[in-house]
Structure 1
Amino acid sequence: MYFSKDNAVTAEMIAERALFHLKYSRGKTLQVATDFDKFWSFAHVVRDLVIDGFTATQEEYLQKDVKRVYYLSMEFLIGKLLERNVLALDILKPSIEALKKLDIDLSTVIQMDIEAGLGNGGLGRLAACFLDSMASMELPAYGYGLRYEHGIFRQEFEDGWQQERPDNWLELGYPWEMVRPEYTMPVFVYGRVENISDTRRGKQPVWTDWQMFKAVPYDIPMIGFQTNTVNMLRLWSARADEGFRLDVFNQGDYVRAVEEKNWAENVTKVLYPSDNTHAGQELRLIQEYFLVSCSVRDIVRRHEKKHSDLRDFAEKNAVQMNDTHPALAVAELMRIFCDEYEMPWDNAWEITTKTCAYTNHTLLPEALETWPVELINRVLPRHLQIIYEINHRFLQRVEMAHPGNSELIQKVSLIEENGHRSVRMANLAVVGSHAVNGVAGLHSKLLRERVMPEMSELYPNKFINVTNGITHRRWLLKCNPELSALITDKIGSGWIHNLKELTKLEPLATDKAFQKEFMAIKRRNKEALGKMIENDLHIPIHPDSLFDVQVKRLHMYKRQLLSTMYLITLYQRIKANPKMDILPRTFVFAAKAAPGYHLAKRLIKLINSVAVVVNHDPDVAGRLKVVFLPDYNVSLAEKIIPAADLSEQISTAGKEASGTGNMKLSLNGALTIGTWDGANIEIAQHVGEENIFIFGHREEELHALAQNSYNPWTYYDNDQELQHVLEAIRVNSFDPSQPALFMDLFDDLTRHGDPFFYMADYRLYLDAQEKVEALFRQPEAWAEKSILNVARMGWFSSDRTINEYAEKIWGIKPISIPDTE
């Protein structure tokens, strides 16, 4: 196979194959080929090299009848794959040589690569890291997701306001996918349930009068890093059962002729359709069921290739539900087992719960999904019956163990009875799984103690922790090649396969020569980012300023507004004393706000308004720069993260489940300023609290404040700088022509009770930023801490995370794929 030392891939082989694809895949000669033609041809060369491994891997899994894990997620932010795949195949040098022979520059074709719009933020990027690790660790695994025609929106700014544009990522085709029409699955929705007599089993519920459409799978190979394993991500695309009604068209009703086609294709049209309307809410539910239905059917189909029945289904299959979006997998498995295979309920339930596991990603009550009973009954009537039956049997067991405890029954029930009746998807996922994990130590603790204490008491052994991790093969090796080369030069390449080997860098943290090399690379990364900012936004950036970076999904609990308040504070200090000695800083923001999240979108406008004023005020004299980079995605993150000096991880304590951006930034040598929250805690424990800037009230302190009628005005009244900052927001001193523009933000921090404790943490945050400034003025001390951050991040590899899942939850083992002839 392609990794065999006796069958090395040469530049001549790559060049020959590239010309083949240029002619036979693109119909071009080299003389008339465009850059896109060259990209497409080279991408297909790389894909060709993967196919032997892809088929060999699937064949080995089938022949050895291994247990496999299926990772169900509504998001997979896989980023661009070309460069990542070249590195995974270990063909970088021959690729450069081959393309040079054809007068093609590798960096040019890499820039042409297409970024799949399959996710929104951390949830999807985590899923992508996990696919990388599962393949690299030779674990039999599959990802299941949706092939959104338009993924997360493309963000633009108009007069500082976020504007959402369609992300047409499939417009030019996608070279990494392979359509599999032979595995198309039917999906059923709507209809009703009838009780029909069966001669053997008496009256049985039968789902009838449903509407059917189809799920067409597209496979994307997931290449293990320099191993023979090539797993796959299977994405489902919705199609109408009968796409075009020729009879209706011939009658002149052109709209109705394509009505069914348009309805079906809407299911995978966009990532997370807005649920602000009943139609949008219904579409989102259908979308979630669509993922579950075709994936579960596909898993059963694959199982039946080697097994005549389903009795050992749980011994051969593990289904991991990434958040509550795929929670309907519990009901769907039960429906298939009971209705289609006529399995007794108790047997079906035992298999289902042994198969399924659930990862919780949030502590925010509003983010724990619920669906109105009326909506599920209309869309999935049989599934609602099954959920009711699950709930009935579950509550019977609770009543037997805790007789007369009606409050407990109310809290753990799968059905929310207050006001409009709703199905609690998190409760369904917990009851229907054998393992429930949080994604950081504090998060898992709060999940048990604050979010689901009753469930935790009922299932004390079910709740566990598996702290998130990241794939260093993308977030260091790929995105920071100079630093990667320096590390390899000093400690060897073993760290690429085992990130814990980075600890060998620790003795070099005080080595002046190494510090100089290390910080020179950081400066070049800053220069590259600064050049991109100047080219795109026409804002000149000085690379010697402190790059203060906050890049993540925009949400009030993540507290981008707190950074903005600090920025306004610095600006007001300069206005009061233009000659003051202040550390030059470049504030870099990048974030998307959900289209319906109006407060977050107003915050984007505030940051951009502040930027216009600060960047052009002669009193500032360039000492502060504010940049909000539009359309944050994986590719942009790969440019920002290696250039960051300071990593802002300042969420309200107890609100961030884990975070993974904090890990990526620290791995690339940024120092963290953060609250005692999520994975910040474990980062502090591993890199040393003296090498991180922790500030703010801890979760238990904020909980006590909330219990004792927290009053934000107390902090307002006792802090003059805070008053001035809030007054600037209230009256919009950045654009006096629109004085009430940011009143909603002011009200959220004051009259509406400051739900995320900005006021309580403001002064503590400023104090921590003073420590940052003092340290940055000591370059050698800063360099030492930066190097120690890199050296001590080995534990945060997604390889470690996946190993924990494999051992604690899935019960799967690596299987080596032999070389092919």
Structure 2
Amino acid sequence: MDKNVFIEKFTGKLPKDIKAATPQQLHSALGETVMELFADKWNESRQQHLSKRRAAYLSMEFLVGRAVYNNLLVLGIYDDVEKAFSELELDLSSLEEIEDAALGNGGLGRLAACFLDSAATLGLPLDGYGIRYKYGLFKQSIVDGFQREDIDDWTRYGDPWSVRCDEDTVLIEYSGQTVKAVPYDMPVFGFRTENVGTLRLWQAEPVKEFDFDLFNKQNYLEASKEKIFAEDISRVLYPNDDTDDGKKLRLKQQYFFSCASLMDIIKKHKARYGTLDNLADCISVQLNDTHPVISIPELIRQLVDNEGYTFEAALAMAKKIFNYTNHTVMQEALEKWRTDLVEELLPRIYAIIIQINEALIADMYAAGVEKDKINRIKIIKKDLIHMADMACYASSHINGVAEIHTQILKDSVLADWFSLYPERFRNETNGITQRRWIALCNKELSALITELLGNDDWINDLDKLKELSKFADDENVLRRFIDIKQDKKQQLADFIKTHDDITVSPDSVFDIQIKRLHEYKRQLLNAFSILWIYYGIKDGSIQNFKPTAFIFGAKSAPGYRRAKAIIKFINEIGRVVSSDPDTRDLIKVVFVQNYNVSYAEKLVAGTDISEQISTAGTEASGTGNMKLMLNGAVTLGTYDGANIEIVQEAGEENNYIFGARVEDLEKIVPDYDSRKIFAEDAMVRKVVSSLIDGTVSDGGSGDFRELYMALLDGASWHAPDHYYLLGDLRDYVETKLRCIYDYSGDRISFAKKQWLNMCNAGKFSSDRTIADYAENIWGICR
């Protein structure tokens, strides 16, 4: 990049008094300048993608995060831009104030963003399709220990990294409503390549903005009704769906982006080839979980109703085009839609789903499949449409996202489908992009890696980190690593102080759990362990405890009462330990506000101990575990998801594994009695009783009592202690204490464990994952 050309273009977009420019003005000018400089490169890539077999990634979520720093890094212009800012007496770090594009809820959306990054870097023709939500997930604040939600208006200062493409607007039809889907394109720049991917996000807008006649008749709200109802579709990610209206809105969202994306794919294909007969030869569509599975009947609808194909030909084409990634083993998360809702909102789609179901049943009878199995796998069961079954029937490939997860799918969740189509099943262990998750967020450690390897080729080939294992016994290298870790902890502590007004000592152990707040991820187990340690210090059974900061980052879904109660409980424990002079200097509990991608970049770099404590068999993979490992943290976790592969790569001796395994739980669960553990283990009883004995307060909501009863007697659909917290608690505490004592007892030996985790993180690059998808599922190449 010519720095002088950059400065000329950049300053031309700023106010005359450059030094008075706000961070938002600087960001807008910078984004627009970079987009102009690399527009030709992007346009060339679009045409190249259309000229060969390509893939489309359909996802309800793309947790992109803040684009500016990552884009500068991967384009190779970060240092040049930083110098240009410096010459203008500006500070590039001021752009830390820029909002994240929080268009996702957690791992599912962040994975999608990592995949696009890797595909662009590998030169692969993969593009993403999703929804351009008006408001991100939500902005979280912690008030009196409770989560509070507010809108996340991430585009209120503009969005220089997106381009509106009105010429590609399409109409989406529901029963009684038609809306426009307007695309906004984001470039996905590859690292050291000319390839640029595209993330196309659809925004819902009304066909008729405003009814002047109604307004003239003083029906003011009615005059804007169409605009409001249309924009609701892309207003918020995952609207509350505990009523039929909420369910309809979610279904509208899923159909909205699926229909628009397929129309876009078909339009572009016809423009190039003039026929759809070869559509399956030229496009592969990945369905990221069940949210976009409605694409299957929608593609058939478009082929039959708009293009003149028979249902049979359209179904055969769909089976070749679609592939399905399963992200969960939990039945409640495998989407099911009531038939009456689908028929009311999308009558033509419902009619096609009936045809698909009938075709499935006919195929099964023709293959001699027993009736009981047919009844288990058919798409429509009573009054529910089972989206995972439709995906399994009409996809070329079905994949899980970690070795144990895929095996569970084969053995239980999708066992009937595996018995029918074993050749369709693959494992694709998730991955993360090393560009954002170490090269960008941990420049100090990246510089050491580059120095020791002699070059920075590792940023394109993460397996090269394995060569650094030879330094695991080099005390000089380990001390440099410790110094870097300490610097990152200091930076994190400074940010927590600025962002949350909480003081944390960087000299303490940083034990960190960052992920979506859900019962199966067991933040409550972590909270219980902290209380256990507190009681142990108080009664003298735990001595010489190293000062430890237990840091949480998580958001609960707004309507998830039990998860929100856990947030309050964690903060109450923080109040208890910090107000006690015996523990205030030993235990610090921090629940950071508004955890997002940008906060995660700071947290992963400063972590000593990575908490990955889901009940064995419940976490499909996890990707936070990979980010923390890559930045030199040990895993304190269960034998679950990708934790298993992490310890296979880095060695169980370099991590801290506890708890019942999947095979153990299969034997334990049938006769499991949480009240028996509660009765027999005095410390378990003391810790759990804190929910009701006045140790902590839920503000009179009754939520802590409900958590208590759920653990001991069950609640709603939960069996008692459904996620086996009480059963794993003692082993977890003992393993956590061993980990903390190892850190304080021999810092060099602990640093060796951390170093070897980083050295063996190569497998968990999303480059490896995407290369495998490209070769074995999508059939695409550079």
Same fold by TM-score, threshold 0.5 exceeded?
yes
CA-CA distance at 1:136 after TM superposition: 0.4
Q: Deviations over 1:645-667 (max 9, x none)?
A: 00000000000000000000000
CA distance in 2, matches of 1:533, 1:434: 47
The DSSP-based 3-state class of the residue aligned with 2:396 is: coil
1:425 aligns with 2:411: no
Q: How does 1:695-710 map to 2 (within 5 A)?
A: 695-707=658-670, 709-710=671-672
1:679 aligns with 2:642: yes
* 2:378 alignment partner AA: S
CA distance in 2, matches of 1:79, 1:488: 26
1:12 aligns with 2:9: no
Q: How does 1:644-793 map to 2 (within 5 A)?
A: 644-707=607-670, 709-735=671-697, 738=700, 741-752=703-714, 753-776=720-743, 777-793=745-761
CA distance in 2, matches of 1:736, 1:672: 31
CA distance in 2, matches of 1:658, 1:578: 36
CA distance in 1, matches of 2:501, 2:162: 37
CA distance in 2, matches of 1:735, 1:292: 45
Q: Deviations over 1:173-195 (max 9, x none)?
A: 111010000000110101xxxxx
The two structures have a TM-score, normalised by structure 1, of 0.93
Deviates more, 1:468-477 or 1:755-764: 755-764
* 1:628 alignment partner AA: F
The number of equivalent residue pairs is: 775
1:802 aligns with 2:765: no
2:522 to 550, 559, 565: 559
CA distance in 2, matches of 1:579, 1:495: 43
The DSSP-based 3-state class of the residue aligned with 2:18 is: coil
Percent of aligned pairs with the same amino acid: 41
CA distance in 2, matches of 1:654, 1:390: 32
CA distance in 2, matches of 1:149, 1:159: 29
CA distance in 1, matches of 2:540, 2:689: 19
Q: How does 1:7-156 map to 2 (within 5 A)?
A: 9-22=1-14, 28-30=16-18, 32-62=20-50, 65-108=51-94, 110-156=95-141
1:165 to 150, 155, 161: 150
2:265 to 299, 312, 323: 299
The DSSP-based 3-state class of the residue aligned with 1:173 is: coil
CA-CA distance at 1:451 after TM superposition: 0.6
Q: How does 1:247-266 map to 2 (within 5 A)?
A: 247-266=213-232
CA distance in 2, matches of 1:232, 1:436: 25
CA-CA distance at 1:505 after TM superposition: 0.7
* 1:717 alignment partner AA: A
CA distance in 2, matches of 1:218, 1:299: 15
CA distance in 2, matches of 1:31, 1:170: 23
1:641 to 582, 594, 604: 604
Alignment-derived partner of residue 315 in structure 1: 281
CA distance in 1, matches of 2:610, 2:699: 34
Alignment-derived partner of residue 545 in structure 2: 582
Alignment-derived partner of residue 546 in structure 1: 509
The DSSP-based 3-state class of the residue aligned with 1:730 is: coil
CA distance in 1, matches of 2:270, 2:542: 76
The DSSP-based 3-state class of the residue aligned with 1:742 is: helix
1:392 aligns with 2:354: no
8 Å CA contact 1:578, 1:620 repeated in 2: no
8 Å CA contact 1:117, 1:148 repeated in 2: no
Q: How does 1:507-522 map to 2 (within 5 A)?
A: 507-522=470-485
CA distance in 2, matches of 1:572, 1:177: 53
Q: How does 1:270-349 map to 2 (within 5 A)?
A: 270-349=236-315
CA-CA distance at 1:261 after TM superposition: 1.0
2:556 to 573, 581, 593: 593
CA-CA distance at 1:579 after TM superposition: 9.2
* 2:646 alignment partner AA: I
The DSSP-based 3-state class of the residue aligned with 2:292 is: coil
Per the alignment, do residues 83 and 619 of structure 1 end up closer, same or farther by CA in structure 2, a change over 3 Å counting?
Answer: same
Alignment-derived partner of residue 346 in structure 2: 380
CA distance in 2, matches of 1:58, 1:743: 56
CA-CA distance at 1:94 after TM superposition: 1.7
1:412 aligns with 2:374: no
Q: How does 1:345-356 map to 2 (within 5 A)?
A: 345-356=311-322
The two structures have a TM-score, normalised by structure 2, of 0.97
CA distance in 2, matches of 1:598, 1:139: 43
CA-CA distance at 1:376 after TM superposition: 0.2
1:484 aligns with 2:449: no
CA distance in 2, matches of 1:616, 1:481: 37
8 Å CA contact 2:289, 2:327 repeated in 1: yes
Which runs of no fewer than 5 residues in structure 2 stay unpaired?
A: 715-719
CA-CA distance at 1:16 after TM superposition: 1.2
8 Å CA contact 1:150, 1:269 repeated in 2: yes
Q: Deviations over 1:798-818 (max 9, x none)?
A: 00000110011100001xxxx
Q: Deviations over 1:690-712 (max 9, x none)?
A: 111111111121122123x2111
CA distance in 1, matches of 2:559, 2:116: 31
8 Å CA contact 1:246, 1:257 repeated in 2: yes
Alignment-derived partner of residue 717 in structure 2: none
8 Å CA contact 1:21, 1:41 repeated in 2: yes
CA-CA distance at 1:681 after TM superposition: 0.5
* 1:99 alignment partner AA: F
Q: How does 1:227-246 map to 2 (within 5 A)?
A: 227-246=193-212
Per the alignment, do residues 771 and 383 of structure 1 end up closer, same or farther by CA in structure 2, a change over 3 Å counting?
Answer: same
CA distance in 1, matches of 2:527, 2:49: 52
* 1:103 alignment partner AA: E
Per the alignment, do residues 462 and 578 of structure 1 end up closer, same or farther by CA in structure 2, a change over 3 Å counting?
Answer: closer
Deviates more, 1:110-119 or 1:477-486: 110-119
Q: Deviations over 1:743-801 (max 9, x none)?
A: 11111211111111111111111221132023212111101111100101001100000
CA distance in 1, matches of 2:698, 2:352: 58
8 Å CA contact 2:56, 2:127 repeated in 1: yes
CA-CA distance at 1:532 after TM superposition: 2.1
Deviates more, 1:766-775 or 1:297-306: 766-775
2:160 to 170, 175, 179: 175
The DSSP-based 3-state class of the residue aligned with 2:179 is: strand
Alignment-derived partner of residue 196 in structure 1: none
CA distance in 2, matches of 1:533, 1:756: 31
The DSSP-based 3-state class of the residue aligned with 1:470 is: coil
Per the alignment, do residues 756 and 31 of structure 1 end up closer, same or farther by CA in structure 2, a change over 3 Å counting?
Answer: closer
CA distance in 2, matches of 1:739, 1:422: 35
* Aligned-residue RMSD, C-alpha: 1.5
The DSSP-based 3-state class of the residue aligned with 1:731 is: coil
CA-CA distance at 1:406 after TM superposition: 2.9
Which runs of no fewer than 5 residues in structure 1 stay unpaired?
A: 1-8, 191-209, 815-821
* 1:247 alignment partner AA: D
The DSSP-based 3-state class of the residue aligned with 2:472 is: helix
* 1:185 alignment partner AA: V
The DSSP-based 3-state class of the residue aligned with 2:64 is: coil
* 1:701 alignment partner AA: D
CA-CA distance at 1:322 after TM superposition: 0.3
